Structure 1
Amino acid sequence: MKFVKEIELGDPSANHQNFIDLKLKMLCCRYWLLDLWDCHEMVFPFWRLYWNKNTGGQLIHQDTVFEMDPDHIYIIPPFTSFSSLYTKNHIYTEGIHVSGKQLNSNHDEAELENMFLIHFFVHFNLGVPFDSVYPGILKIELTDYLKDRLNYLTNRLKVENKNFKLTFNLKLQAFIKEALTNIGPELWKTINIDERVLKVIRYIEVNIDKKLSNTEMSSLVNMAPNSFARLFKDEMNVTLHQFVQNRKIAKSCELFEHTNKSIEDVSFNLGFSDRYHFSRVFKSVTGLTPASYKSGKYT
């Protein structure tokens, strides 16, 4: 057997290929019985995918009301401001109020459909630049493939809900990626952003723990701060300052989900002057205090 020593010779073609690097990172995946889903003006720095097995759920974005049905999944990009409710038990007109419990193998879903909203949800990130797409709520019809994957995932979640095996992880990621292929091309305009903007975005991701100034970031691409700020706003539809804040809060949510770090530790690790400054920014972005977010009282 003869081994190839030069790595570039592993591909016999001289044609260079460019692939899009999609960094799917899972935050949570749950299957719940909800008896209250009064959440108003939620804004979070991650993608959300929702499916309800029964009717009665609503999503509201700006002036559009989505009556959720079992034949569709609903995908919500990061930093979309939206509200939700369960029409059979609608109590609150502001704030975030969620009540429910995890489904398990002892539950008979058919008997519970008239008492609860049977709710599957996933939170995830896709990485730069795909977490900066335009906000909105995307209604996607369930294909046979998606139905099959969804049936597997919801059944497994009733059995295991913490330490997932490789098969579950692969099928969950395949489900999300297949759902994303059904999104129209207009959503993915961020992959064609100006190279100078993309260079700064990558710098922000690597240095998210530091205090970043407009002067420092614009100097990376040899532009005046005001000129680069205008370019960034034109390309990303958000100011450079707000983008940095959004990415810091996105990172803080990830730390809250996957570590036991305190609010003080997270604020320090992300370059905020103190916990109080961090808390003000966190609430301005998400509508929740860091303590409320850590409690997990939302879906």
Structure 2
Amino acid sequence: MIKKLLDQLEINVLNVELYTVGTEWRHTNVISPYSRLYYITKGQGFITQNKTRYLIEPGFMYLLPAFTRVDLFCPKSFTHYYIHFTTELPDGHNLFSIFDYSTKLNASEQGIEKNIFERLIQLNPGMELIERDANKPIYRSLLERHEMLNRDKTARSIIETNALMRLLIAPFIRIAGNESLNPRTGINRFEKVIKYINENISQPFSLKELARLANLNPSYFSSLFTKHMGISPIRYVNTKKVENAQRLLLSTTKTLDEIAYAAGFDDVFYFSRIFKKITGLPPALYRKQQQYI
């Protein structure tokens, strides 16, 4: 099951570049709809993720998965290769939502050298961030530019880019025991339920409806789902809906009412409450803050 899932992993590179940042690189509560990978060549900074503060230093790589909250701080300057990318599995999951992952790795110990990043830049010309003005939104234009540039890519560049990205991502996946082929037993056990949720994410769901798909009574289904997935079925549904809303907030000009409805919430006030509970920010503030980062 997991091998088949990973064979169909879709990786899209949105940006790749060698760049030096300064003291303007100071952001809190960053929750991006795409993942970030950094390889540091010079200087220092700090990343705070999952309540842990990491020193940014030369020779190390850093992974910041999509939809995880991070704080970014640069006291002076540092130079780094950065890659903004998405990883999507055929069942709709982000790769890093089903595997445990490391945040910081020594690149040379993983056999990773800067020539890999240089090759990615060669294979993906024009993929640097073209707008660095903090007063202008970037995510919507980023998606449009990505789509335009991808039209001219050759089969070779697509295959090689995918292979290099897998090479960079693989070391971050934590392996313990047999987890390499079974990171979340719940993915297998509730495959039908998860597929149904992802394919109908804009619709309302009831616990009874989801339990019926698993051929279980609601109480036992809720208990079993929580045990295997590490999250209750209702919170799982709300999390996926909020992730969808986050993409819409940054990639469209829809109103909050329209986004609430598109994400499967009948009430914009309930949508705002759930959104803030999961992301820590109300949707309007999230849109204003995140679109400039």
Superposition TM-score, scaled by structure 2 size: 0.71
Shift in Å at residue 231 of structure 1?
Answer: 1.1
Q: Tell me the equivalent position of 2:104.
A: 139
For 2:114, give the aligned amino acid. Answer: K
Counterpart Cα distance in 1 of 2:71 and 2:252: 28
Counterpart Cα distance in 2 of 1:158 and 1:41: 25
Report which stretch shifted further, 173-182 or 143-152: 143-152
Counterpart Cα distance in 1 of 2:263 and 2:275: 12
Counterpart Cα distance in 2 of 1:283 and 1:196: 30
Counterpart Cα distance in 2 of 1:200 and 1:72: 39
* Shift in CA distance, 272/160, structure 1 to aligned 2, threshold 3 Å: closer
Query: Among residues 200, 203, 219, which one is paired with 1:226 in the alignment?
Result: 219
Bigger RCO (CA 8 Å, 6+ sep): 1
SS of the residue corresponding to residue 257 of structure 2 reads helix
Answer yes or no: is 1:277 the counterpart of 2:270: yes
Q: Tell me the equivalent position of 1:12.
A: none
Q: Tell me the equivalent position of 2:137.
A: none
Output one character per residue of 1:201-231: Cα deviation in whole Å (capped at 9) or x when no partner: 1111011010111110011111111211111
Answer yes or no: is 1:205 the counterpart of 2:198: yes
For 2:75, give the aligned amino acid. Answer: T
Q: Tell me the equivalent position of 2:115.
A: 148
Q: Structure 2: any 5+ residue segments left out of the alignment?
A: 131-144
* Shift in CA distance, 45/160, structure 1 to aligned 2, threshold 3 Å: closer
Counterpart Cα distance in 2 of 1:191 and 1:218: 19
Q: Structure 1: any 5+ residue segments left out of the alignment?
A: 1-17, 89-113
Shift in Å at residue 24 of structure 1?
Answer: 2.4
* Shift in CA distance, 27/283, structure 1 to aligned 2, threshold 3 Å: farther
Counterpart Cα distance in 1 of 2:114 and 2:32: 27
Query: Among residues 85, 88, 97, which one is paired with 1:126 in the alignment?
Result: 88
* Shift in CA distance, 269/80, structure 1 to aligned 2, threshold 3 Å: closer
For 2:55, give the aligned amino acid. Answer: E
SS of the residue corresponding to residue 36 of structure 1 reads coil
Structure 1 residues 1-299: aligned runs within 5 Å: 19-20=4-5, 21-24=7-10, 26=12, 28-29=14-15, 31=17, 33-34=20-21, 35-43=23-31, 46-62=34-50, 64-88=52-76, 114=77, 118=80, 120-127=82-89, 128=91, 129=93, 130-133=95-98, 137-142=102-107, 147-154=114-121, 156-157=125-126, 161=130, 162=145, 163-165=148-150, 166=153, 170-182=159-171, 183-186=173-176, 189-190=182-183, 192-193=185-186, 195-295=188-288, 296-297=290-291, 299=293
Counterpart Cα distance in 2 of 1:174 and 1:259: 31
Counterpart Cα distance in 2 of 1:197 and 1:159: 39
Note if contact 2:15-2:128 (Cα within 8 Å) is conserved in structure 1: no
Structure with max Cα Rg: 1
Note if contact 2:100-2:174 (Cα within 8 Å) is conserved in structure 1: no
Report which stretch shifted further, 53-62 or 130-139: 130-139
| Identity over aligned pairs, percent | 23
Output one character per residue of 1:61-119: Cα deviation in whole Å (capped at 9) or x when no partner: 3553321123222113455444321133xxxxxxxxxxxxxxxxxxxxxxxxx5x6656
Note if contact 2:36-2:65 (Cα within 8 Å) is conserved in structure 1: yes
Output one character per residue of 1:134-169: Cα deviation in whole Å (capped at 9) or x when no partner: 666422343566522312445734768534242565
Counterpart Cα distance in 1 of 2:160 and 2:286: 28
* Shift in CA distance, 209/282, structure 1 to aligned 2, threshold 3 Å: same
Counterpart Cα distance in 2 of 1:248 and 1:126: 16
Note if contact 2:184-2:229 (Cα within 8 Å) is conserved in structure 1: no
Superposition TM-score, scaled by structure 1 size: 0.70
